[in-house]
Structure 1
């Protein structure tokens, strides 16, 4: 157990550290904590001490505390609490915590309950995790020179979700930075009643490797992966209890300033659910989307390298915990970076992002056979969209070679000028299945002159309880994106029934027919405008 303040003033240097952390579902992308830039002198360096911090229910949380250099017992510095990502130990934020301490913050980071050497069992941001946040704040106020009037929360992935939830339960929290997190857990990994298989499998595997899952988590995960529809209400209730959107009224009433950041291609927590939650926040708020996959947009910042996401996180804390007039609240609150361009675009709100829309008619009737992967797919969780971010290599498919027996394909005209796609693509169609259950996956491709398609977006859709042979309407939002379509290219919509990212619910012998009745034409609504 570390000694209480004022012993925290003892200087500790980080030294050379390069620790590779295995990230997984609900957790950060693989990151490493690197040695910070030039080592300050002992007199000017913030102090670092590792502590056993009492959590809720009598458990012990493994944590560390950075205290600003020269802090005295009577001083009061703004406090930032950083819960770790899924499967990640307390050293995750060392580089960022030191930088924050350098600028005057007390920073407390701790390993979330159930992982590594922290006590308890993995509750997946359940009530005990939220109670832990308040317990850590209580401890920090008693043992560090933290100011009770200036408390912030932040984190990546699992830490982001816990931070948002805590903002609806502890009124002392004045500012939140939630990076690559979730606002709606159900909409994230069970969107349109489709289990996100690879994401859930990573969650379970990483939890077993690095922690101690609770009985409730084991049961829920088994029901989820086992496609037990009888347990669906219980799974949804479990997820809602762990979703910040459930506590939206309390979060708004508490009035914390909330900054949210995510990647367009996040295969754990897709951007749509974040954008929807952002629009409902009533206090100071900011939304940032960048290229990449889960937690890759902020990963280099965890190495201590220059990083736009963390730069804005610091500015956000400075504005709402220190009161600095640094201009971040005067900028357009929605900031986007296209997957194919290096610049930023600002918007007054999320609905303005996709304000310009064009409809592409999906005419004719197409019948496809299920249970066979056509070759169109969304890639590999936490990998494919990271490749798109760093080497501009998204998942690809040859549109002319896709077997029409197993894939429905519609193509737009070729555009004579470059086009911007910004926001959420929406599919409306009529489906007739020969079974009462089924799954379809829609993909939007950028098809070049030679027929090679680069994936722009995708999303799954599952139905149950439909009458075989009876048509029904389907409305599906694809995952939001920002993509620049080159001149001479066209858009291709592909629909099939199998994708390794998802669990599919097509019984043997399933067929799906897509039609466009005169009374209810099928279409694709694309947020498209000329570049």
Structure 2
């Protein structure tokens, strides 16, 4: 396994699972296998592309601090050395080699672009250590652009960047720091790293550990990253300010004013069920952009919506990415700038819907009350879970089978359950549901996870959304108010079904902070009633 022994990895996974080692190890194996299959499949494209034509060159580029970045360049077929072409730079995803984008690079080159893809520092044969989109990674992107302008027929006035996952995050950060970048398509990336892996002040254990394992297998983690991961897994609260500062430096949301000043055209695309970079943080960031912008959400999990395009198969995400570059790098009047800028695909119907902005998506909301007082015990998984990282939302994407739970059978000792009335007509959930309640803990720390289910006539609940929340430093016995945004989604509830809100305290996706024997009480004071606000539209 390269740089780290298998026993060390098992130890780290045990720490991250917080009492769920078997679940964590199962996820690790599935995630590592998935990454290996994807990487191996894409690697197989390299000899095919190279043999097909002589336009593909594998080159070395000097990055920040003198390290070597492994890269490849694809040029248009009609390049004669006198004409200049728009440039598109593609940094690789986490753990994948620079041949990841060869199929799309060739398509883009065939349509008149110089395309340069490079392996980010710390991974595979590129030099340096993994910096997690730190300042060196941002500087590398500018060095790659410098090299392309000096060694290819690239046009300095028409430069774009794109990427999936890690490449998306680096592309956005580079656009905030390098005004030469005029257009970006950021696919399955992040705008706020902390809000992605530490939302609700809760460690997303499976997602982070999956990235850790992939980094250990395919790259070289820096000393800083190792320290951050150690603090993250161990829940070292004294180190929390350092973790937040580390994540802020690596989040394009921190440099929003700078990005808006540079004014690149930004297209953001993600999956509703992304278990690494949830949809909410992209939607919030999109609303704050002032330049040309587009937001697309589709069913799936992390990077699964874009996956078929990496193999050269028809893919809506990559098609729109090409149209975005054609409009803002070539000036082609293809109409993408006149379409509704927010494009959503429902998890239930598969149809596309257009909106003028993100606020319009969830403009119509309905509340159902969380009446009464309910007390639950902690430390036991009730059976309501968010699924398994990468796998569950992928299954929802391809077969429309989300994580499920029998709502009547959930043990009320460990799960609080409220249900709405039955809906006479089908309802469309679009946007972000919000939980508002009053919590009284018996300990100063604790974790809860809220789930919204679509419940059929037999009581089987299909997961619509969820979100975790962790608190520290509370006074035992003293109530506090809680407003929790669930992860945004687009889901259709059939007529005759109802919605259910379930709250428990353990989910294998997250690290929980419930002391032994702790209890949580949920109440609905008369002057501040509890409810769930759901963005619903009748069909």
Indicate whether the TM-score tops 0.5.
Answer: yes
The residue correspondences of 1:299-318 to structure 2 (distance < 5 A) are 299-318=307-326
Q: 1:359 aligns with which of 345, 367, 371?
A: 367
CA–CA distance in 1 between the matches of 2:79 and 2:235?
55
Q: Which residue of 2 aligns with 1:9?
A: none
Q: 1:57 aligns with which of 39, 56, 65?
A: 65
TM-score, with structure 2 as normaliser = 0.92
Q: 1:336 aligns with which of 344, 357, 376?
A: 344
**1:28–1:295 contact (8 Å) kept in structure 2:** no
**2:50–2:56 contact (8 Å) kept in structure 1:** no
Q: CA deviation at 1:333?
A: 0.1
TM-score, with structure 1 as normaliser = 0.93
CA–CA distance in 2 between the matches of 1:24 and 1:138?
35
Instruction: Say what the alpha-carbon RMSD is for the aligned residues.
Output: 1.8
CA–CA distance in 1 between the matches of 2:37 and 2:457?
35
Q: CA deviation at 1:72?
A: 2.0
Change (3 A) 1:250 1:46: farther
1:379 aligns with 2:390: no
**1:24–1:206 contact (8 Å) kept in structure 2:** yes
Q: CA deviation at 1:392?
A: 1.1
1:47 aligns with 2:55: yes
Q: 2:111 aligns with which of 103, 109, 115?
A: 103
1:156 aligns with 2:126: no
Q: Which residue of 1 aligns with 2:7?
A: none
CA–CA distance in 2 between the matches of 1:164 and 1:288?
16
Q: 1:482 aligns with which of 456, 469, 490?
A: 490
Q: CA deviation at 1:23?
A: 7.0
The one-character-per-residue Cα deviations of 1:452-496 (angstroms, maximum 9, x if unpaired) are 000000000000000000000000000000000001100010000
Please give the secondary structure, in 2, of the residue aligned with 1:94. helix
Please give the secondary structure, in 2, of the residue aligned with 1:527. strand
CA–CA distance in 1 between the matches of 2:55 and 2:489?
42
**1:378–1:499 contact (8 Å) kept in structure 2:** yes
Q: 2:407 aligns with which of 389, 399, 405?
A: 399
CA–CA distance in 2 between the matches of 1:35 and 1:323?
31
Q: Which residue of 1 aligns with 2:235?
A: 227
Q: Which residue of 2 aligns with 1:493?
A: 501
Change (3 A) 1:177 1:29: farther
Q: 1:116 aligns with which of 104, 124, 137?
A: 124
Change (3 A) 1:39 1:478: closer
CA–CA distance in 2 between the matches of 1:427 and 1:168?
34
**2:49–2:56 contact (8 Å) kept in structure 1:** no
Q: 2:527 aligns with which of 519, 523, 526?
A: 519
Change (3 A) 1:39 1:517: closer
Q: CA deviation at 1:35?
A: 5.4
Change (3 A) 1:91 1:277: same
CA–CA distance in 2 between the matches of 1:163 and 1:215?
24
Change (3 A) 1:270 1:39: closer
CA–CA distance in 2 between the matches of 1:198 and 1:285?
32
**2:45–2:99 contact (8 Å) kept in structure 1:** no
Please give the secondary structure, in 1, of the residue aligned with 2:216. helix
Q: CA deviation at 1:28?
A: 11
CA–CA distance in 1 between the matches of 2:351 and 2:277?
24
**2:449–2:504 contact (8 Å) kept in structure 1:** yes
CA–CA distance in 1 between the matches of 2:493 and 2:422?
10
Q: Which residue of 1 aligns with 2:151?
A: 143
Q: Which residue of 2 aligns with 1:5?
A: none
Structure 2 gaps, min length 5: 1-29
**1:432–1:471 contact (8 Å) kept in structure 2:** yes
CA–CA distance in 2 between the matches of 1:46 and 1:264?
40
**1:29–1:382 contact (8 Å) kept in structure 2:** no
The one-character-per-residue Cα deviations of 1:295-327 (angstroms, maximum 9, x if unpaired) are 000000011000000000000000000000000
How many residues are treated as equivalent by the alignment?
506
**1:23–1:30 contact (8 Å) kept in structure 2:** no
Q: Which residue of 1 aligns with 2:87?
A: 79
Change (3 A) 1:40 1:440: closer
The one-character-per-residue Cα deviations of 1:198-255 (angstroms, maximum 9, x if unpaired) are 0111111111111000000000000001000000000000000000000000000000
Q: CA deviation at 1:30?
A: 3.4
